[in-house]
Amino acid sequence: MKTLTVTALLCAVMALTTAATLSEVTEEPDALEKPEEGEHQVVERSTSCPGRWRLINGRCFLYVPRARNWAQAERNCQSMGANLASVHRPDEYHGIQRMIRDVTHGYPQPWIGGYDAAVERFWLWSDGTPFRFSYWCRGEPNNYRAQQHCIHINYRGGKCWDDRSCYGHRPSVCAKNI
């Protein structure tokens, strides 16, 4: 009887462990919503990047359409072995924009990994790389009402960067090294 009880408990623990692991699986397979009937999506595949990730300047990028606040978006990227995207050069930024346009057929305004929440106007990337390139819109970053500490892209007609409250819900762009 003790052996049966121990076996049952062991099976229950294994089932719970497997369920917990499965609940932590990334949403990468669902990261892109399925197109409506009659719609087509153009997604370039790369032999260096997994699944729906796109190779841009030696790193893999993924547009995630599900709207989250900045911290939730960063955590989601981390669950896939990535961070919210850091951007280091103009051609890299334009590659990210092309990827988003190819997937969405538009210019949504997703989160990227820049933030200045620790010290105002001291911008950092969530992946720890140096913040040396920016593409701010005119008059930005302005920290409106002292509450804007996170970066979203494709703002206004210039498709440039804007600082926003980190609590707003937006799609996001993740990036990881190959």
Residue of 44, 18, 168, 175 whose CA lies nearest to 108: 168
Report CA 34 to chain centroid distance, whole Å.
18
Contact 57, 89 (CB under 8 A): yes
| pLDDT at res. 146 | 87
Domain map of the chain by residue range? 63-178
DSSP, residue by residue, 36-51: PTT--------SSS-T
Pairwise CA distance, residues 135 & 126, whole Å: 17
In this prediction, the residues of the chain whose per-residue pLDDT falls under 70 are: 1-47
Pairwise CA distance, residues 81 & 139, whole Å: 34
| pLDDT at res. 47 | 60
| pLDDT at res. 74 | 98
Give the class (CATH, top level) of 63-178. alpha beta
Query: Given its phi and psi angles, is residue 81 left (phi above 0), alpha (psi -120 to 50 degrees) or beta?
Result: left
